[in-house]
Amino acid sequence: MKFGTKAVHAGVEPDPSTGAIMTPIYQTSTYVQESPGKHKGYAYARGANPTRNALQKSIAALENGKHGLCFSSGMGATDAVIKLLSPGDEVITSNDLYGGSYRMFKRVYEKFGIIFHFLDLTDANNLIPYLNKNTKLLWLETPSNPLMRIIDIEACATIAKKNNVRVAVDNTFASPYLQNPLALGADIVMHSVTKYLSGHSDVIMGALVVDDDQLLHDLAFIANSCGAVPGPQDSFLVLRGIKTLHLRMERHCQNGKKIAEFLKSHPKVGQVYWPGFLDHPNYSIARKQMRDFGGMLSFTLKNDSPAKATQLMESVHLFSLAESLGGVESLINHPASMTHASIPKEERIKNGLSDSLIRLSIGIEDGEDLIDDLTNALNKV
């Protein structure tokens, strides 16, 4: 089945009790049992809920994976993966990471004795010196946030697999429409469902997709034991959002390309970070592992002035100044003070994330209106 058909149909069946074509919101905390322990697979809603189950099947299908597991947020999903580890275990990850993931790794889990190595993984060979018998997990994020670097998932996974290291990929920026990490050798795909999958900036949710039955079992055990599960209303909203994922992504990509090219040719703009440029350092890998280049991009102004960047962010009208991404509406963000404020300044600058960097999440509005908005704002700085 092709992607668009799966987006509309996967996981969703007419409701058995009424034939309702849309999966109902099963707003219940518990389920009545016929006799003790005898039930239809549902005992208590922390463990399972039919609306959530339909969504889990849908997300798994979009990633061409066997099992999906939803969480109350993207961080809840990431947290479950880290809880598979034990004190003394080591994790290799990239140095251009979602700020919240960096914060969880450094400030929550280091004190439990888990060791994290933050590396430039745009060259897969960089991870080799860090592999040892304690290395248990390779955590990748590509395209990276906010610098749009691309990591070769297959090359990294090949090295990891030879050393029995599990591979997880945060696939939030690409969405399953653009990239399917399981097919490239990953064991776990993580999504902040909050972003493209939901698509309407009205839900916080996370998901994991895996093929391995035992791995699903272990993660579901953590989900049920620790309790970071989403509610049925949110599951319903995401099921609805996914039905248009392919259409939204097409427009996100079209608009992303238009705006990346517009910014690149604008005299006041310095650097534009977008993986679809032929001169992007990881262009060929992006071409190889992604279906298109997405709607996320970052840029700096010439002379790299933080004051002018602030002025620009205050001058746009259609773009809203807000954290998050992947919704139908375009957003503008200042990573240094917003999404990535939790990364220490020296660490940020060292990794190339300057104080004047501006990140855009390009929505599905008419691209020309978005360009007009940016043109007007650039004229004011």
Ligand X SMILES: *Cc1c(COP(=O)(O)O)cnc(C)c1O
The answer to the question of residue 152 lying near ligand X (CB under 6 A) is no
Which residue lies nearer to ligand X by CB, 22 or 204?
204
Choice between 142 and 377, CB closer to ligand X:
142
Whether the CA torsion 356, 357, 361, 367 is positive or negative: it is positive
**Piece in contact with ligand X (CB under 6 A), picked from 70-78, 115-123, 246-254, 286-294:** 70-78
Q: Which of 98, 102, 177, 262 binds ligand X (CB under 6 A)?
A: 98
Q: Is 145 in the site for ligand X (CB under 6 A)?
A: yes
Select 102 or 262, whichever has its Cβ closest to ligand X: 102
CA distance linking residue 153 with residue 159, whole number of Å: 10
The answer to whether residue 152 is catalytic is no
Cβ atoms of residues 113 and 139 within 8 Å: no
Q: Nearest approach, Cβ of 43 to ligand X (angstroms)? A: 27
H or E element at residue 309: helix 306-315
Residue 195 binds ligand X (CB under 6 A): yes
Q: Quick one: which of 48, 84, 204, 322 contacts ligand X (CB under 6 A)? A: 204
**Residue 278: enclosing H or E segment and its boundaries?**
none
Nearer to ligand X, 23 or 172 (CB): 172
> Where does this chain touch ligand X (CB under 6 A) — which range of 97-105, 251-259, 346-354, 355-363?
97-105
Q: Which of 11, 181, 199, 206 binds ligand X (CB under 6 A)?
A: 206
Q: How far apart are CA 207 and CA 194, in angstroms?
A: 10
Other CB atoms within a 10 A radius of the CB of residue 103 amount to: 16
Closest residue to ligand X, judged by C-beta, is 74
Judge whether 380 counts as a catalytic residue: no
**CB-based burial, 310-349: b 16+ in 10 Å, e otherwise:** bebbebbebbbeeebbbbeebbbbbbbebbbeebeeeebe
Nearer to ligand X, 356 or 361 (CB): 361
- The verdict on 149 binding ligand X (CB under 6 A) reads no
Is 194 near ligand X (CB under 6 A)? yes
Q: How far apart are CA 116 and CA 347, in angstroms?
A: 15
Cβ-Cβ contacts under 8 Å for 370 (sequence gap 6 or more): 255, 258, 259, 318, 319, 330, 362, 363
Contact 13, 57 (CB under 8 A): no
| 73-81, 106-114, 123-131, 251-259 -> range binding ligand X (CB under 6 A) | 73-81
Considering the candidates 15, 31, 42, 46, report the single residue annotated as catalytic: 46
Q: Quote the tokens at residue 316.
A: 């746009």
Q: Determine whether 359 is an active site residue.
A: no
Active site includes 366?
Answer: no
Active-site annotation, residues = 46, 98, 170, 195
Q: Residue numbers of the site for ligand X (CB under 6 A)? A: 73-75, 98, 100-101, 141, 145, 170, 172-173, 192, 194-195, 204, 206
